[in-house]
Amino acid sequence: MRRFSLSVLAGLLTVSAWHQISAIEPVPRPDDGTVANEIYTNRYFHLSFPLPSGWTQGMAGPGPSDFGYYVLATLIPAGELTGTILVAAQDVFFAAPALGDATETAHELVRSLSRVDGMTIDRPPSEVRIGDRIFSRVDFSGVGLFRSTFFTHIRCHLVSFNLTTSSPERLAALVLGLNNLGDAREGAAGRSDPVCIRNRAGAENVVMKIDPAAIGPTFTPIPVRLMIGADGAVKHVHVIRATVEQRDSIERALGQWKFRPHEMDGRVAEIETGLLIQFTSGGVTYSAGDRR
Amino acid sequence: MSTSRLIHSWLLVGVASTIVGSAALSKSALAQSTANTTSFQASDPGVRGGPAGAGGPLAGLSPAEVAFFTSARGVFQEVDSVSGTIAGEDGKGLGPRFNLNSCSGCHAQPAVGGTSPAVNPQVAVATLHGARNVVPPFIKLDGPVREARFVKNPDGSPDGGVHDLFVITGRPDAPGCNIQQPNFNAALNANNVIFRIPTPIFGLGLVEGVSDLGLQNTLNQNPFLKSQLGVSGRFNRSGNDGSITRFGWKAQNKSLLIFAGEAYNVEQGVTNELFPNERETDPNCQFNGTPEDRTILSPAEPSGSPASDFSSDTVNFAAFSRLSAEPVPAPTTTSITRGSQVFQNIGCQTCHALTQTTAKSGFTGQSNKSFHPLSDFALHDMGTGLADRVSQGGANGQEFRSAPLWGVGQRIFFLHDGRTDDLLDAIRAHASAGSEANAVINNFNMLGQGSKQDLLNYLRSL
């Protein structure tokens, strides 16, 4: 009996410890990439990019926007400013207007650029392979600046590498350097990413919810990404942009939500989805996040 | 005269003509002609001279609306005293605390309704009529008109409110009032004070006339251009109904009437029908019934506009703003055209949006009108370099509304606190840690000097 009790106790402690470890293991966020040893690494997007020789990290960009746009990194030469590389990501769940695939986005960019007086499209949208990823590439120039933008989709984000230089030769060199873009996945044992799905956080899929305490400023949309386990429990709440008090309130409440498990190919799956929260004078409103 | 002497004379005439011609070139034109030399450095050509490009009424108004504008502009120029008892200072309600004694004193450059003039009237008003004020160290005769805000209260909680520079103590129309100025030296030493300069009111009726949907559509334009530049932006919103607010450095005010009423009370101390209570509560400094500015029941002297005559000063101020025409740019030149291309190519227009359009308007000739404020009226994170640590509405301490650039050519001081009178410095100040403008300023910094000069010439043409 005593041996049985000890076994049960050991089991309970193990489960508790696993939850503790899971709870404290940091979940990568889109904007927590770093530059170290001349390599830009982003665990969320699994990016590993060696900086061009003599380059360094430039001034930090702004924080995430309230429609899920991130400036991930700005890279510049250490000396004279002859070029820049801006790495950005747009969460497709919250983009306004809604985003298509990388190719459609590249064509939209060309349409926008064509309306800019003095801008020239040097290379229309084309698909290029870098490592195991397919990018859409557009080259354009004007007023003595030469630019190239590469779009791709990763985890329901439109990720872009935006290269700008003061000469076409320098641009060509930067483009060549982009071929060194690698995968920062943590070895063969690294976990696979949750499946990203639009509109999965709607009321029809919610089994149990607790409203966060409404905290001002009101009427400002708060984008939230949820990681939902195969059992329907919320595993991680990522409040993309909010005040500290709003973030605390939302994390505490949404961390207790439960959803109907998502089935794919006959099996339940861990997923990632978006939710837009707005605190109003009347309380809390939710929308599924997709701004289509 | 011998042939050789004649040739020599013509040569001298030719050389002299060349010298005179060169001297006649404007500074910017000279800058253009030397743009390709390696020693040339782009520079701000300075305040555009010539007639003021603003100050009149909107085109297309009815005669009654023009009369309202004209009379309201007169009210805007009224000088206030405590009880309206000083000759030439008929306005009533100044103080007990104030920053200046008339709207047009601050809103003066290049015309009534503009922004800070070259000579700061706050220096003279400090001791006007025997008032016992010390001019704070951040107010200079050749510096911008400023209001001061304290970032934090003494207990450490957020403040952010305006702390008026001056008091009416010592004036003959304020007998018995003995309040003191705030301790600005202590606030400066504690790094607890920030500044704001006046915003011009030209064309603001057009801005007020854009629907929320119109503003949203403009903000949503060119998302792919913005996404490759680090630009996003969002609106400040009313906490009452969620609608977009659009006036002020942080787009914190909903309407021109609210803006006028708040300014009248905060900057001059005049209580009014929107802000009916004195901010200073010392009973020895209350000389008038409140609100001091209110609807006129029996106008003393008709002005030709009954609307103006019966309206309070605040309503007149709002009408003056609402009916005032947008600034008119200077005639274009080759450099200005190139500068406009630079402005768009490097991405300035992703925040300083070129065009807005009004909705259906209640004012004659103002419906569905496209105009060019060069602003999206949205908030943008401007980073630590421009942060003032004051939140207003939904705007945090690093966020500011895209300042409308129409009329910038004839402004003297730039940025929210008037820290510079040099456009080049103002452009560079857009870049700092956390700013949405960093990529655009990187693009600017990579330009050749000629392109930079073209951009500066374009801005000074606005």
Q: How far is B243 from chain A (nearest CA, A)?
A: 8
Are the C-beta atoms of residues B54 and B111 closer than 8 Å to each other?
yes
A119 touches chain B (CB under 8 A): yes
Answer yes or no: do B446 and A74 touch at CB < 8 A. no
Helices (H) and strands (E) in chain A, counts: 4, 20
Are the C-beta atoms of residues B55 and B114 closer than 8 Å to each other?
yes
A112 touches chain B (CB under 8 A): yes
Q: Does pLDDT of B105 surpass 60?
A: yes
Separation of alpha carbons B47 and B27, rounded Å: 12
Residues of B in contact with A143 (CB under 8 A): 338, 341-342, 345-346, 447, 451
Give the model's pLDDT for residue B117.
98
Are the C-beta atoms of residues B347 and B439 closer than 8 Å to each other?
yes
Residues of A in contact with B234 (CB under 8 A): 65-67, 220
Q: Does pLDDT of B27 surpass 50?
A: no
Answer yes or no: do B228 and A158 touch at CB < 8 A. no
Q: Residue B399: beta bridge partners?
A: B381
Separation of alpha carbons B240 and B237, rounded Å: 9
Are the C-beta atoms of residues B305 and B64 closer than 8 Å to each other?
yes
> Which of A69, A142, A165 lies closest to B345 in CB terms?
A142
Residues of A in contact with B376 (CB under 8 A): none
A271 touches chain B (CB under 8 A): no
Other CB atoms within a 10 A radius of the CB of residue B176 amount to: 10
Are the C-beta atoms of residues A191 and A27 closer than 8 Å to each other?
no
Q: Does pLDDT of B184 surpass 90?
A: yes
Confidence of residue B30 (pLDDT cuts 50, 70, 90): very low
Residue indicated by tokens 């001297």: B23
Q: How far is A225 from chain B (nearest CA, A)?
A: 19
Residues of B in contact with A121 (CB under 8 A): none
Residue indicated by tokens 């207790």: A256
Distances (CA, A) of B299 to B8, B73, B276: 77, 17, 21
Distances (CA, A) of B112 to B73, B165, B296: 8, 23, 24
Give the model's pLDDT for residue A290.
55
B462: which residues sit within 8 A by CB, 6+ positions away?
Answer: B327, B329, B330, B374, B405, B406, B407, B408, B409
B77 touches chain A (CB under 8 A): no
Q: Does pLDDT of B38 surpass 60?
A: yes
Q: Does pLDDT of B330 surpass 60?
A: yes
Give the model's pLDDT for residue A22.
42
Given the DSSP bridges, would you call strands A195-196 and A271-280 parallel, antiparallel or unpaired? parallel
Give the model's pLDDT for residue B9.
44
Answer yes or no: do A60 and B342 touch at CB < 8 A. no
Answer yes or no: do B345 and A60 touch at CB < 8 A. no
Report chain B's mean pLDDT, rounded to a whole number.
93
Give the model's pLDDT for residue A23.
44
A contact test, residue of B343, B438, B440, B445 with most A CBs within 10 A: B438
Q: Does pLDDT of B257 surpass 90?
A: yes
A113 touches chain B (CB under 8 A): yes
A107: which residues sit within 8 A by CB, 6+ positions away?
Answer: A125
Start-to-end Cα distance in chain B = 54
A218 touches chain B (CB under 8 A): yes
Q: Chain B, 202-221: which have a CB under 8 Å from a chain A CB?
A: 220
Separation of alpha carbons B380 and B209, rounded Å: 22
pLDDT per residue of chain A (292 residues) written in tens, 0 to 9: 555 455 445 444 444 444 443 444 578 899 999 999 999 999 999 999 999 999 999 999 999 999 999 999 999 999 999 999 999 999 999 987 777 888 999 999 999 999 999 999 999 999 999 988 999 999 999 999 999 999 999 999 999 999 999 999 999 999 999 999 998 775 544 558 899 998 899 889 999 999 999 988 888 889 999 999 999 999 999 999 999 999 999 999 999 999 999 998 899 999 999 999 999 888 899 987 655 4
Q: Does pLDDT of B296 surpass 90?
A: yes
Q: Judge residue B410's burial from the number of C-beta atoms within 10 Å of its C-beta, 0-12 exposed, 13-18 middle, 19 or more buried.
A: buried
- Single out the residue of A50, A71, A52, A69 nearest to residue A60, CA to CA: A71
As for the ipTM of the complex, it is 0.89
DSSP state of A289: S
Tokens, residue A107: 């064509």
Q: How far is B341 from chain A (nearest CA, A)?
A: 5
**Searching chain A, which residue's CA lies closest to the CA of residue B224?**
A109
> Which of A69, A143, A164 lies closest to B232 in CB terms?
A69
B118: which residues sit within 8 A by CB, 6+ positions away?
Answer: B109, B142, B412
Separation of alpha carbons B406 and B457, rounded Å: 14
DSSP state of B221: S
Give the model's pLDDT for residue A186.
58
pTM of the model: 0.90
